Amino acid sequence: MTADLQRQLASRRAEVEALTERLAVARGRLSATMARNREIRARTTHPRADSFQKAIRTRDVIGQAKGILMAGGLSEEEAFDVLRRASQRTHRKLTAIAEEFVHKTTAGSPAWVDGGDALADARRAAAEMDDHRGALALLADRRADAVRRAMAGGLSRSDVARSLGVTRQAITKLLADHGPV
């Protein structure tokens, strides 16, 4: 090998060693940057992900509370209505009411429940809903009777509907649901 070729080879080796050192420094910096990014990501969460997770937890706890109430004989709508009314009565969020109800059904009853047994309270709520349904049916029967009397007195369905502030179709349906005129 000639002296000129040896010098070129030595020069190339020096370049390769310099590049290797620069690459090692760059890898170190990249590793440090990636570690900082992971640390920052671990400390901060994406707001949209947080809201999705919160929504899922909220839905789950409300569903659990409804399930407990439904085990006491309520329908899904009635169970939700019981929770909603408790929320309104206590001026607290529905989620907080549901969480408390689920948490305390085994350890005792929540402050907004009247009795000591959650299932007994659910049964009482179901009985109350049955009473409400009965009252509404009775009211509809009486309203239908009043409409029949008004029509017997010479008022048309349109006149009765206008005086009650409802549509003529509502009067027709009321009468159809509660017997002939």
Q: Which two tokens stand for residue 7?
A: 């010098």
Query: What's the average model confidence in pLDDT over 141-163?
Result: 79
Residue with the larger pLDDT of the pair 15 and 105: 15
Per-residue confidence (pLDDT) for residue 115, from 0 to 100: 47
Residue of 14, 120, 29, 142 lying closest to 134 (CA atoms): 142
pLDDT at 95 exceeding the cut of 80: yes
pLDDT at 159 exceeding the cut of 60: yes
Q: Is the dihedral of CA 132, 135, 141, 143 positive or negative?
A: negative
Q: What is the pTM of this model?
A: 0.36
Q: Which two tokens stand for residue 144?
A: 């239908």
Per-residue confidence (pLDDT) for residue 144, from 0 to 100: 76
Asked if 107 contacts 93 with a C-beta cutoff of 8 angstroms, the reply is no
Distance of CA 43 to the CA centre of its chain: 27
Asked if 90 contacts 97 with a C-beta cutoff of 8 angstroms, the reply is yes
